[in-house]
Amino acid sequence: MATADHTGTAAGVPAPAVQIARQLTDALHDLATLPVPGARELIVIRGITPSGTFTVPVENVVQQLIPLLVPAEGPPRVFTYADSVMFARGGTGADASLVPVCTDTDVTKAAPGVLANLMIVEQPGKDGVVQFSVPAKVLSVLLNAEPLRQALARVDLYARRPVFSADFTLLAPGYHPDCRILVHGTEIDPVTPTLPAGETVLDRLPPLLRQLLAGFCFKTASDLTNFVGLMLTGLLANHFLDGSKAVALLDGNQPGVGKTLACRVFGIVIDGEDPHLIDYTPNDEELRKRICATLRSGLQSVLVFDNAKQASGLPISSAVIESNSVARNITIRLLGTNTNFSRPNDVSWCITMNQTQVSPDLMSRGLPIRLAYEGPTGSRTFSGPEPLDFARQNRLELLAELAGFVVRWTQAGRPDGVRPHRCHRWAQLIGGILRANGFPDFLDNYEAASGEFNSDLDDLGVLASAALAQPNGPFVVTTPQETAP
Amino acid sequence: MPKIEPVPRAARPKAAAAPPLEGPSRPAEGDEQLDVREQTYNDGLRGQIERVSTAVALIVRVRAVMVDVDLKYLASELYAGEDGTAADRLYTQTAHVWLNRHPLLRHAEVRHSGTGLHVVQHVGPAVEFQTTADRDRWAAIVRAVQASLPGDPNAPGLNVHTRPLGSINSKSGLPVKLLRKGSPVSPKAVIDFVEDLRRRPFATVAGILFGTGRITPCPVCRSSGSSMAAMANEGRCYERCGKVTLARLYGTIMADPTAGRG
């Protein structure tokens, strides 16, 4: 960056002439090396060579970095999240995102470049000061240094939407150190007016949710209520980090009834991103890779296993889904490495299927949402707005309406839901919110859906049918006694 | 060198205490006008040097770039003759030509400081510093502009002061007077000028001091029939000098005030 020295002294040149020429050269050199308007003030680290050698004690560099990466004032930009070190790119708005710079103990390929947004190394060179990004070799030492790792701000939950804290305070975008939640997105203002009265569930929904869901052919009112419950589960994902939330089971009576579309709409509203769909496969190893690849982007908290089916007609049963959906942390080994990908289980798990059965274990944790349409689905059109576009265009308002459910529930004294479920706390909370808002039929379809989805109950049904097909038994017909009203 | 008659120390009026600095002060009358200085930065305060002088770190605004052209650093041929003061002659014989040659410097105000010239290029609107980096950048810009003319190499940069018109220079006993009215230039015009200096330092300075891309005769060797081509970063004399540096170019018009001292 140094400019050429044009002063060039010679014998007989008056000293002031040399001085003034040097002043010009120095000033122009300074201008070439000073930050231009708009240039960012980066953290400058010293004591490192481009080849990654420390020319000062390593610990000095670590201690030099700690106050810079963990600023006393202003939001931090480097966090630990699960087992990774992440860099927050682009402020806290809707365009912001978390980029992994160190997964478990391995520095990512992008780390030197990404962290150059924050810090660079400076070293005296032959032609002046040279600057370069922190070499990966050095980052590996620094980002795995225990004092630094422990000092970094920790994120327990990362969300791309405003979230409710443990005491149901709506957290705006930014880092919230007290609850270790990092929110990227746009602030919302919960919509809290009293919900409209109406006979049907749809009529009682707030206006935008009503428009969004009007075209979906939910089988019963309870199925629609359960879908709203699913959206509330996504909004309140941080309240179920211990894994105690249901897996959404979206079943259609035939292909093309809108199960996948409903999941995509759900993903767009919750994350602002059209979720990457995971093709279901009974091969757990392959499914594990697909889950990992989907979650590593960091943008998606809605996992959609699309069109789950078993070729042999066996029930859907996946150890990967069943174990990870209830785990506190989702931990999956990275392909071709000895390191794990890990993140908190703030994920909404959804499986779409067509009249398919699931294992009893999955059913017991299931949130059944059934869609049904009679006739050819190809000719079916949505009466309202196109759901994906509508969700994208009205995402913040839809989130505000969902947040309004939580606010009204709080105003009503936070009553619990009454419907039992294996995910007891989840059912109490989501059921309570829906009940307080005038939707008492949450999970009312559970028994009926269990009969349809649960392979064990189905086997029992086959047995009962076979027995009943024998006119002479083996069974005894009894007439139930009337009970007094 | 011109002979500047110094005011005998005993005869010098005693500097009065400067008025309190509550906003820009007016030029004081009578004795209060002695050696008053005017900030080219911040609020443009006027007063005694110890009252208006400000550390560079406290400067938040630049209002003008000033080049202090001190005769002691210049070759006497630039202000030959006996008419008026040496500074008057420097302006009429040389400095106004330098300034007229450049579209930016043409707007500069010139003050007879009592001993030399103050070339004051007003900047309008004043440049407000938002960050330390802004100030550092403008400090370098000011130094570059100052060095585009053969000014005092020891003059301050960003925190330089001029003398207000009508004030008295105690060194000469002369009042500061206006030789040339100036007009403000935009900050962008100043930046563009410095960018030109960055791209073509030698050619830009040579253009101001000598006017053309090819200077005849070569100002360094002055040989008959010689000429010097002013290229971007250096000059080239094809007669005797060969490569001509910026220092040698300045050396043709500057003098060393300490030369010849025992």
Cα torsion at A439, A442, A448, A451 (round to 10°)? 170
The residue ranking higher by pLDDT, A382 or A225, is A225
**pLDDT exceeds cutoff 80 at B208:** yes
Band (pLDDT 50/70/90 cuts) for residue A11 is: low
B148 Cβ under 8 Å from any chain A Cβ: yes
Residue-wise pLDDT tens digits, A50-84: 999 999 999 999 998 888 888 888 889 999 988 88
Peptide bond before B217: cis, by omega within 30 degrees of 0? yes
Select from A15, A30, A31 the Cβ nearest to the Cβ of B256: A15
Assign A350 to helix, strand or coil.
strand
Query: What are the two backbone dihedrals, phi and then psi, of residue A447, each rounded to the nearest 5 degrees?
Result: -65, -45
Cα torsion at B199, B203, B207, B209 (round to 10°)? 110
Write the single-letter amino acid at A162: P
Burial code (b: 16+ CB inside 10 Å, e: under 16) for A303-317 equals: bbbbbbbeeeeebbb
Binding-face residues of B in 59-88 toward A, CB within 8 A: 73
Side-by-side strand order, sheet with A247-252: A277-279, A302-306, A348-354, A247-252, A366-371
Band (pLDDT 50/70/90 cuts) for residue B25 is: very low
Residues of B in contact with A15 (CB under 8 A): 256, 258
Rg over alpha carbons for chain B, rounded to the nearest Å, is 19
A42 Cβ under 8 Å from any chain B Cβ: no
**pLDDT exceeds cutoff 90 at A319:** no
Query: How far is it, in rounded angstroms, from Cα A431 to Cα A222?
Result: 12
Burial code (b: 16+ CB inside 10 Å, e: under 16) for A16-53 equals: bbbbbbbbbbbbbbbbeebeeeeeeeebebebbeeeee
Write the single-letter amino acid at A43: I
Tell which residue, A165, A228, A247, has the closest CA to residue A402: A228
B147 Cβ under 8 Å from any chain A Cβ: yes
State the sign of the Cα–Cα–Cα–Cα dihedral A309, A368, A232, A220.
positive
Tell me the pTM: 0.67
B231 Cβ under 8 Å from any chain A Cβ: no
Band (pLDDT 50/70/90 cuts) for residue A429 is: very high
Tokens of A275: 């979720």
**pLDDT exceeds cutoff 90 at B65:** yes
Residues of A in contact with B205 (CB under 8 A): 24
Band (pLDDT 50/70/90 cuts) for residue A482 is: very low
Query: How far is it, in rounded angstroms, from Cα B83 to Cα A46?
Result: 61
Q: Number of H helices and number of E strands within chain B?
A: 7, 13
- Of chain A, the percentage scoring pLDDT greater than 70 comes to 90
Task: Of A219-228, A301-310, B30-39, B135-144, give the lowest mean pLDDT range.
Answer: B30-39
- Between the alpha carbon of residue A180 and those of residues A238, A343, A376, A396, the distances in Å are 11, 14, 50, 23
Query: How far is it, in rounded angstroms, from Cα A456 to Cα A363?
Result: 10
Structural contact between residues B180 and B91, judged by C-beta atoms closer than 8 angstroms = yes
Tell which residue, A220, A293, A306, A298, has the closest CA to residue A262: A306
Strand locations in chain B, DSSP E? 37-39, 46-47, 61-69, 109-112, 117-128, 161-162, 168-169, 174-175, 177-180, 214-215, 228-230, 235-237, 242-244
Predicted confidence at residue A467, as pLDDT, reads: 58
Give this complex's ipTM. 0.86
> Per the CB < 8 Å rule, is A13 touching B148?
no
Predicted confidence at residue A481, as pLDDT, reads: 55
Band (pLDDT 50/70/90 cuts) for residue A27 is: very high
Predicted confidence at residue B260, as pLDDT, reads: 59
Sequence-distant (6+) residues with CB within 8 A of B10 are: none
Structural contact between residues A371 and A252, judged by C-beta atoms closer than 8 angstroms = yes
Binding-face residues of B in 149-188 toward A, CB within 8 A: 150-154
B192 Cβ under 8 Å from any chain A Cβ: no
Residue-wise pLDDT tens digits, A154-184: 998 888 889 999 999 999 999 999 999 999 9
**pLDDT exceeds cutoff 90 at B90:** yes
Query: How far is it, in rounded angstroms, from Cα B113 to Cα B109?
Result: 12
Band (pLDDT 50/70/90 cuts) for residue A332 is: confident
Residues of B in contact with A18 (CB under 8 A): 247, 250-251
Assign A176 to helix, strand or coil.
strand
> Per the CB < 8 Å rule, is B251 touching A35?
no
Tell how strand A329-333 and strand A170-171 pair up.
Answer: unpaired
Inter-axis angle of helices B201-209 and A15-33, nearest 10: 130
Query: How far is it, in rounded angstroms, from Cα A216 to Cα A228?
Result: 12
Mutation to test the A interface, candidates B131, B143, B236, most A Cβ within 10 Å: B143
The residue ranking higher by pLDDT, A316 or B154, is B154
**pLDDT exceeds cutoff 70 at A463:** no
**pLDDT exceeds cutoff 70 at A245:** yes
Residues of B in contact with A21 (CB under 8 A): 147, 245-247, 249-250
Predicted confidence at residue B7, as pLDDT, reads: 36
Write the single-letter amino acid at A65: L
Predicted confidence at residue A10, as pLDDT, reads: 58
Residue showing tokens 């706390």: A425
Query: How far is it, in rounded angstroms, from Cα A111 to Cα A117?
Result: 10
B255 Cβ under 8 Å from any chain A Cβ: yes
Q: To the nearest whole number, what is the mean pLDDT of chain A?
A: 86
Band (pLDDT 50/70/90 cuts) for residue B31 is: low
Between the two ends of chain B, the Cα-to-Cα distance in Å is 18
Residue showing tokens 């070293």: A123
Residues of A in contact with B152 (CB under 8 A): 16
Select from B141, B153, B194 the Cβ nearest to the Cβ of A23: B153
Cα torsion at A421, A423, A429, A435 (round to 10°)? -20
- Between the alpha carbon of residue B36 and those of residues A391, B26, B33, B112, B119, the distances in Å are 70, 11, 6, 14, 17
**pLDDT exceeds cutoff 50 at B27:** no
